[in-house]
Amino acid sequence: MNGVKFCNKLFDIEHRIKKCSDEERFLKRLELSKPVLDDFFAWASEMSKVALDKTRLGKAITYTLNQWDNLTRFLEDGRLEIHNNASEQAIRPFTIARKNFMFCDTVNGARASAITFSIIETAKANGLNPLAYLTFLLDQMRFALRAGPPELVEEAISHLLPWSPDIPDSCKFKKK
């Protein structure tokens, strides 16, 4: 067997248990996925003795063994995904727009971009239209920052967070 076949088996198991509850998925993974991972680890350990370090296979085996704890983390909690596709999709706009970030040639410019993109992605993750939310947020921040002592400012701002029930419907994506 080769490494791809082990991965295919694991993804097949994930496909079969996709609709299970988090607890059921956790238990099924221990029952079904852990033996496949144990076999995969044994195979990778054996291959590390014969694969040349500088080859693509050798590098892949070394990476697999060095990252084993991270690669098997999904076994610890049924809520975790076996893959990081959601993370990859979330950062795609940044990797595509890298050339547009030339203006971030200072620490302050980079910090401002990071804050802005964090707000945008958090808004999207909470079902908000980023443009509508940013417009609302910037408008409301004028008032929140005038609230007085720091504890009042903090309370005023907490009502503006993307997950706050106080966010107006005009900022939310329309449900289909």
Average pLDDT over residues 98-124: 81
pLDDT tens-digit readout, 52-89: 999 999 999 999 999 999 999 999 999 999 998 888 88
Q: Are 40 and 1 in contact (CB under 8 A)?
A: no
Between vectors from CA 13 to CA 56 and to CA 30, what angle results, nearest 5°? 95
Average pLDDT over residues 94-107: 71
Q: Are 120 and 134 in contact (CB under 8 A)?
A: yes
Q: Which of 43, 46, 48, 39 is nearest to 13 (CA)?
A: 39
Average pLDDT over residues 88-110: 75
3-state secondary structure of 174: coil
Average pLDDT over residues 4-33: 96
Q: Which residues pair with 61 in a beta bridge?
A: none
Predicted confidence band of residue 116 (pLDDT cuts 50, 70, 90): confident
Q: Which residues pair with 172 in a beta bridge?
A: 128
Rounded to a whole number of angstroms, the CA Rg of the chain reads: 23
Tell whether the model's pLDDT for residue 102 goes beyond 80: no
Q: Distances from the Cα of 81 to the Cαs of 46, 71, 105, 175, in angstroms?
A: 27, 11, 36, 26
pLDDT tens-digit readout, 134-162: 999 998 888 777 767 777 777 777 888 99
Tell whether the model's pLDDT for residue 132 goes beyond 90: yes
Average pLDDT over residues 90-110: 74
Q: How far apart are CA 163 and CA 125, in angstroms?
A: 9
What pTM does this model have?
A: 0.58
